[in-house]
Structures are given as structure tokens and as C-alpha cells.
Amino acid sequence: MQLEFSYLRKGEQCFPIIDVKAQYKKKALTIKALVDSGASYSVFRLEIADYLGIKLEKGKAFYLEGIAGRILGYLHIISLIIGNKTYKCKVVFSREFTVSFNILGRDTFFTPFLITFYEKKKKVLIKTI
């Protein structure tokens, strides 16, 4: 399987954002998320956890550090579906994560794929390996 996603334009900038389905138990939601090779972990906004019925504090408390400082999140394992591939992925949900994009980071999201950023064409290619 190989999928191709065009970058999303936001103002003057373009971002490698893809559609991914997040699933937990019997609930699922298709979301847009930034494919971020600079992020160690996937981080989703709190409303995603709320919609999926995830009890935030039941996850492992986890501090994320980045250029904007440190935020408290809770690590959960959920299913992600991209194309026809479903797999388990570690995702940190946080009340303090208020940026506009959910983030798909390297830990478990990148593992089953070969991911190519094609900057000239403003596309991200995701291939099952």
C-alpha cells in the first residue's frame, strides 16, 4: 500500500497533514494530523480523547518537552487506521496541548511505514514496509 497526501496550505505555509482514523474500543473519528519527524511522540488534542471515551488520567502520566516548554499528558494505546492498515499506536493526550494540529510522531506511528516528504511537490508519501 502506498498513499499520497497533498500538504495542507494554512496562510502562506504548507504542512504535511494527513487524514487518519483514530479508534478506541467501538468509537472512531477521522482527524487531520501533522506528520512530524521531529516529534518523538504522537500528541492529540483533548477533545479527541473525550470523543473516543478515553479516561485521560487512566493513562500513564507523561511530560513532553519541546521548544514551547513542558506539558503534562497521558499516554494511551489506541488504534490508528491509514488506508487499509490498522495498527496500535502510542498517543499522548493533554489538556495543555493547544496548538492547531494533532501530531503524529516517530514512536510507533513511523514504525510500519516508509515516510517520504516530497517538499518540491508539497506531498507526503506513506508506504507500508
Alpha helices in the chain (DSSP H): 46-52, 106-109
The yes or no reply on domain 2-128 and CATH 2.40.70.10 is yes
pTM: 0.92
Q: Taking the CB of residue 70, how many other CB atoms lie within 10 A of it?
A: 9
Question: Model confidence over 65-114: pLDDT tens digits?
Answer: 877 678 899 999 999 999 888 999 999 999 988 888 899 999 999 999 99
Which tens digit of pLDDT belongs to each residue from 6-59?
Answer: 999 989 999 999 999 999 999 999 999 999 999 999 999 999 999 999 999 999
For residue 94, give Cα distances in angstroms to 41, 54, 91, 120, 124.
12, 12, 10, 34, 26
